[in-house]
Structure 1
């Protein structure tokens, strides 16, 4: 026990160190499979397509690929998928052992919908296939696949000749006889060992001879292919090497984005002089900035953009992966499909995974919004969060007891600062036994939660995956008795150290385990919980304090006998899914869940929000949070944020203030701090800073109608609420690397202050003929140029686009729950032609009834001095008390004297005021229910 406590204490101390302990984490050179793939020569590819084996189906072709060095055959499938997408999949033709593939319905929402394609040209050395405006060209020798959109090559597979597929094999030299095969091969869980030596036919014998030849070369040069040691940790690798990799070239593209999570710029950099970008979910405390080290989550999706097109690829593989990036130019004369003599940029990437299969989706846009939709069709969208989830959250490690919670809650009211959710960290539980309460500190949790809920607020408690190994702990006993834990390589329950001291980890890859976990959230099971209590999944990479790289051993076993090395990056995804399903279960699928996760994978957006982990109270961490969140947004993790103020250490009042201002205009808005940091609730700040922070939080609440509308639209289309400028201004090259400012939807431009002592900043306003209006002063700025804007501590540079109409709620309440029936203010900022459009989405802000049509979608327009509010969806109906309190119009060319309201043909005059500053008109109290159609004519 003392040893465990000392280890935890040392980890806590190391958490307060600003730089990461790099020696705890592998480099590519310390990862044998990464090293093997990275040293491949592009001119030595042994793979050829056996064209005579091709089978053509309406939407798919299948063909064998031969490795000419060892005579091992692979099977390639190329499929045309609806919505301008293609899929390329390569697996072993005759594997000795089934390779791990993520089950359909987990990351992929279902089997992708296919479409027919036709053969355009076929010869003995190549075949060209067509669908929509796309072509797929498969070349036999050397093996290569080109994806062409509108006669322009956009993505090529194996153009650099870096395909490497390590086939399953016996260890060489094998022990003689069938018993030796059993010892070297191993068996999956549930697989029966042979009752007698298997017969071997001549084809199998010839295949094995070819494999042996390749194995001898491998074993002679790379002994770690069969077992590997990092520091004091041994990876037994009972099934031998099974890595896969191939190069993916983006033709005509200079900029690529995505593959989070890294503390890195949005536009990804070349990796020629260092390590590749690593995708391996890890608990990296005190992480360094601007490097390719792995962090908490992994989304193997990359987008490429130029002024003509956006494309993307999705590497559907949950094993540890590395991605190399290099940039060059390609002469079109030498291009396999190009025409004309000119050079164009090209980005070459090399994708490497420790195991699994090659399964790549090519999303051919042609716009960024098309790619968002194409990816959403594969992995789903961010489900519309309940309103409280996009409001302000207050958290620290830890609020000490029930009295502490009551005091914090009361002080927010005393200082008139709105908030929606208060969070409890690990010390709220009895000895860090999750699903329990420390009775000494929280004697009546239901009363505590109900008191919070009476003000329209919620509570979140942390539930981590490590379960304390304790015979008196009911949750542990159930998991152990039912065999629900991850196993070690010997088949026993895996044990390691984490906050709960000696712990075991549920195997969330097993649907049975996920069902069991979900049942733990039922009110009868989770004593002290209510419908107003929600969940935070932390440490779910999973973190194991005494494990290799502070995580599970790679030879730990999951359902089906698959190793952790096969599926490591999906563990946190499955935990968040099981937790969300638990919240759905307790409400009988009536209420929307809210689950925050630290570890994530492709598709995690369907189960809740994510955050960027244990950042630090440094200006540099505030600055890097913007590209980190933009990178997450581009690959579907759209409800994301960074800990306000930094998790570690103590921000000074200026840094904390600027961080609140930035985060108030980001998707997930939560303040969080380490237990050893000083209390930093907004009301504890110097008066001036407290007032500015309060204004920032109030601004967030006033814009909740906009955020809610954007999240609804995102559920339909996959579009992220927080966007890089190039998404909406795709031909403006100045925006391609810009990641210090961003858009909220299309209507708000945000440029946070991220440097100490800064009282102004240059803001780039996109759109050559565009107008932008300061949201506070309504001063206007011309687009297509960079302008210096004053930004004293009291101000965050935020601008509304001319031509947009934004719905706001201006009444100050204690929480979003108390704003439910409040009226709207519609802010109309006109473009140069005197026009504007906008939209508003309304429902009950909590349940799934909106999917039954119980919602409103309003469409606003202003043109020729006339404002209109119309239904944007004739098939929906919803009754609400919300109404229009005020309409503010900015940028009118002439002063109006009358405002006539028309509701179903009945006209009435409205109060009107005018200010010559920015030609501002305020129409007060139209008094129309937001659900009704109406118009207002100015004259």
Structure 2
């Protein structure tokens, strides 16, 4: 191990030292905005200048103090979306506008404009249900839906815009001239940080001076706001105060603090608000450091002064004010108007893309550690799963598998025959994931470094040389993945001839891609480093990791000549990262509080488009007690990405190392995951084609029930399963809220049932995972578990049919779906090789029919077991009816105590039409 490496590993030995990272008081653009906004500078719209073209309406606004104009562009976008852009009319040079995040150029809707009395302008898309009302003085925009103001922009007068200036060296330092751009960039002794900003030993020299932007949004009637990951915080966003804002700035924070608004590994500048009757969203498309302040004003009663007793009291609606501030770029914001949660998810994915359809193996269990020592260690751990009858799909290798932290290489002593190791895994129908980080060891004899150096593929420092920083290999340069040529070259490194020792079962993990720079300010890259197009790092910091995951996914697709789906896990992410793979919550700690906070963290990722997410099972840092480890496996089994992981200085914690009883409990949890794979896979298909989150906060499924809006200790998995992980030590009961007064809920294990709309105290032992199936749903499962997903291709299916009841107690229906394809290729897309089936229970008949006629896939799988929950009477007979007209009697068992009907030893083809008649 090299000296630099030894020294720097200490960075990751202790839990976060917050003095390394800035809070708001140490961020110059935040201080400037707060200072200036206290002076009440206003903008006025010059509506006489308004022009409406095919795509947008444009007009000027002017700062009443400086008289410098800005250009506002308003776009109507199909699917009830409005876009607002505010930029300098004539900037000294172009300001950064975030590329590559929007899937396509959104289709615009021509706006119709109506002038008011000169002091206002109304824009509508022609349907008249959505209007944009612009007030000239002071400048304000109201978004009106069904005659109600839903969102107001700049109603608090917090619009702020710092104009680009010529560098200090070119300016005449005349005191009188300092008055230009007075609202935003006056240099004064009270507020340095205009042209350079100090933090610790670091000085950030700003070539263009201050360039920050800000804007406020008032959300009328809304008290519940969510989103803007990633923070180790509650699902419902909390009020901030001066000096305390949600920070969106991707950072490598080892052992991050929980219930903290500091930015961690990823940033999605997208906020949702929900109230009874409407959901809305604000997507602030900016990749520079961003701060978000939130202030909710609850509903209040006030007394009117007039004498009319009938109008003595009125209710003022609640309101949430959201103030966005970014260090640079332009104001480019999308307002998503819903009105339902489902509409919001579709609107956002229309802009940024849906969740990539994952390969099936990636929904199985992943086993990771920093680091499995060598090929013998991998072989022994792999054998341990078989010996203890625990299924798993993927073995992971961290940085130690490489030759001195040189990515795309193998340590010749520890991993002398990587292909043989992969063939061993392949023989078990398992996969391998290895790490590939964006820092490249400075070593002229390392081919990846030499080629990137020769081609000029590294991020540059402000002097024009290659940027160098310290990371795991010691001195490193950082690939400029914002450059399309660099991404194309990087993608090519995953080709089999280039990546010696790799095979088609090897997939990739992108880590440290915030980017992490051990000796950099806040352990990241200096903001004045230079990227492709001469953009400073400050403009695009939050999108750096997004680009690595994009290039990696593209490389894996190219490797298979476009045939196979990639799997890429990334620690850093941005809006739109869902198109390229999975993310996780980073370096968490083996404590109960981190298990608990993982639920709201994952819920927030899911509602902001990234369904494929998880938290390291067991906690990355520290040694979990056996009970915590068991409970974490039980929680992880019901979350989208399921991986056990631990840092190098922890004790080994493979599932069988905690005694026979704990091994049994962990085995049961993992096997339950494999049982539910058809349901998970179907949910990911819906996420992919219909933008539905896999893991949902209760308010998404029950948007009209106020009691659900703040719940974050339980969640819906799809629409059918409610999961309430046990997150407290030595728990003997948990309080589970079962929503929906017209719903019925069945305990997934005992089949006991409750009516919804109440909180139920559920007794729990260490083997209890509180999961409830919603009445009216059909959940597809596998009835036979293999060593991995690859062993289960032709495993039989089961159906769990949970009946709902009507108000007067009559049996009602149940519906569900299943999606299947080959699990690994793009044939489902290109050749429509898939099956999408619908199950429906109505009038005592369960039917299997086609849900999508476009799909065709030959499956040998049969439904061999059906369980009907909530059947009040024992049937006299049960028979199957096939599409060829044949009827077959079925042997059945009825359990009166639980009102459950069990049908076994069936042989009903999953892809054929059939019916089961219960008489």
State the TM bucket, normalised to the shorter chain. Answer: over 0.9
> How far apart are 1:694 and its partner, in Å?
0.3
Q: Who is 1:184 aligned against?
A: none
Tell me if structure 1 keeps the 8 A contact 2:62–2:68: yes
Tell me if structure 2 keeps the 8 A contact 1:421–1:457: yes
The alignment status of 1:230 with 2:199, answered yes or no, reads yes
Tell me if structure 1 keeps the 8 A contact 2:752–2:898: yes
Question: Could you give the per-residue CA deviations for residues 771-795 of structure 1, whole angstroms, max 9, x where no partner exists?
Answer: 1111111111210000100110011
The alignment status of 1:8 with 2:8, answered yes or no, reads yes
Tell me if structure 1 keeps the 8 A contact 2:223–2:320: yes
Distance in 2 separating the partners of 1:437 and 1:812: 34
1:866 aligned to which of 837, 845, 869? 845
Q: Who is 2:287 aligned against?
A: 318
Distance in 1 separating the partners of 2:243 and 2:861: 56
Q: Who is 2:517 aligned against?
A: 544
The alignment status of 1:70 with 2:66, answered yes or no, reads yes
Distance in 2 separating the partners of 1:175 and 1:59: 39
Structure 2: 5+ residue runs without aligned partners? 304-310, 806-810
Q: Who is 2:450 aligned against?
A: 477
SS of match in other structure, 1:632: helix
Q: Who is 1:86 aligned against?
A: 82
Structure 1: 5+ residue runs without aligned partners? 182-205
RMSD: 1.9
Distance in 2 separating the partners of 1:808 and 1:747: 13
The alignment status of 1:464 with 2:471, answered yes or no, reads no
Distance in 1 separating the partners of 2:397 and 2:186: 56
Q: Who is 1:724 aligned against?
A: 697
- Closer, same or farther: CA 2–585 of 1 in aligned 2, 3 Å: closer
Write the mapping of 1:278-677 to structure 2, written as runs, cut at 5 A: 278-329=247-298, 341-677=314-650
1:893 aligned to which of 861, 872, 877? 872
Tell me if structure 1 keeps the 8 A contact 2:28–2:192: no
> How far apart are 1:119 and its partner, in Å?
2.4
- Closer, same or farther: CA 579–794 of 1 in aligned 2, 3 Å: same
SS of match in other structure, 1:475: helix
> How far apart are 1:120 and its partner, in Å?
4.3
Moved more, 380-389 or 902-911: 902-911
Tell me if structure 1 keeps the 8 A contact 2:57–2:73: yes
> How far apart are 1:900 and its partner, in Å?
1.7
Distance in 1 separating the partners of 2:693 and 2:38: 37
Question: Could you give the per-residue CA deviations for residues 486-527 of structure 1, whole angstroms, max 9, x where no partner exists?
Answer: 000101000010001000000000000000000000000000
> How far apart are 1:40 and its partner, in Å?
4.1
> How far apart are 1:122 and its partner, in Å?
2.8
- Closer, same or farther: CA 682–209 of 1 in aligned 2, 3 Å: closer
Tell me if structure 1 keeps the 8 A contact 2:801–2:814: yes
2:827 aligned to which of 849, 859, 866? 849
Tell me if structure 2 keeps the 8 A contact 1:629–1:640: yes
SS of match in other structure, 2:379: helix
SS of match in other structure, 1:486: coil
Write the mapping of 1:33-182 to structure 2, written as runs, cut at 5 A: 33-41=29-37, 44-103=40-99, 106-131=100-125, 132=127, 133-171=129-167, 174-175=170-171
Moved more, 210-219 or 22-31: 210-219
Tell me if structure 1 keeps the 8 A contact 2:223–2:298: no
Question: Could you give the per-residue CA deviations for residues 720-747 of structure 1, whole angstroms, max 9, x where no partner exists?
Answer: 1100001011121111111000000110
> How far apart are 1:473 and its partner, in Å?
0.3
> How far apart are 1:594 and its partner, in Å?
0.2
**Number of matched pairs:** 901
Distance in 2 separating the partners of 1:853 and 1:139: 51
Q: Who is 1:875 aligned against?
A: 854
* TM-score normalised to structure 1 length: 0.94
Q: Who is 1:919 aligned against?
A: 899
Q: Who is 2:808 aligned against?
A: none
1:834 aligned to which of 787, 791, 812? 812
> How far apart are 1:391 and its partner, in Å?
0.9
Moved more, 563-572 or 3-12: 3-12
- Closer, same or farther: CA 42–841 of 1 in aligned 2, 3 Å: farther
Q: Who is 1:189 aligned against?
A: none
SS of match in other structure, 2:909: coil
Tell me if structure 1 keeps the 8 A contact 2:428–2:787: yes
Tell me if structure 1 keeps the 8 A contact 2:5–2:471: no
Tell me if structure 1 keeps the 8 A contact 2:364–2:392: yes
> How far apart are 1:796 and its partner, in Å?
0.7
2:23 aligned to which of 9, 24, 27? 27
1:260 aligned to which of 229, 235, 239? 229
- Closer, same or farther: CA 918–213 of 1 in aligned 2, 3 Å: closer
Tell me if structure 2 keeps the 8 A contact 1:42–1:161: no
Distance in 2 separating the partners of 1:209 and 1:920: 80
Tell me if structure 1 keeps the 8 A contact 2:796–2:862: yes
SS of match in other structure, 1:684: coil
Question: Could you give the per-residue CA deviations for residues 322-355 of structure 1, whole angstroms, max 9, x where no partner exists?
Answer: 0001111578999xxxx99531110001100000
Distance in 1 separating the partners of 2:34 and 2:848: 59
Moved more, 771-780 or 116-125: 116-125
Tell me if structure 1 keeps the 8 A contact 2:635–2:725: yes
> How far apart are 1:116 and its partner, in Å?
2.7
Moved more, 144-153 or 822-831: 144-153
Q: Who is 1:202 aligned against?
A: none
> How far apart are 1:926 and its partner, in Å?
3.0
- Closer, same or farther: CA 247–216 of 1 in aligned 2, 3 Å: closer
The alignment status of 1:217 with 2:186, answered yes or no, reads yes
Distance in 2 separating the partners of 1:234 and 1:670: 40
> How far apart are 1:484 and its partner, in Å?
0.1
Distance in 2 separating the partners of 1:126 and 1:209: 34
> How far apart are 1:893 and its partner, in Å?
2.1
Tell me if structure 2 keeps the 8 A contact 1:265–1:627: yes
Distance in 1 separating the partners of 2:293 and 2:245: 5
Q: Who is 1:194 aligned against?
A: none
SS of match in other structure, 1:683: coil
* TM-score normalised to structure 2 length: 0.96
SS of match in other structure, 1:135: strand
Distance in 1 separating the partners of 2:184 and 2:891: 85
Question: Could you give the per-residue CA deviations for residues 432-467 of structure 1, whole angstroms, max 9, x where no partner exists?
Answer: 100000011111111111110111110000001110
SS of match in other structure, 1:918: coil
Distance in 1 separating the partners of 2:323 and 2:183: 23
Runs of 4+ in structure 1 off by over 6 angstroms are 330-334
- Closer, same or farther: CA 74–892 of 1 in aligned 2, 3 Å: same
Moved more, 324-333 or 672-681: 324-333
Distance in 2 separating the partners of 1:212 and 1:21: 38
Q: Who is 1:250 aligned against?
A: 219
- Closer, same or farther: CA 324–209 of 1 in aligned 2, 3 Å: closer
Question: Could you give the per-residue CA deviations for residues 291-326 of structure 1, whole angstroms, max 9, x where no partner exists?
Answer: 101100000000001111110100000000000011
Q: Who is 1:241 aligned against?
A: 210
Tell me if structure 2 keeps the 8 A contact 1:138–1:145: yes
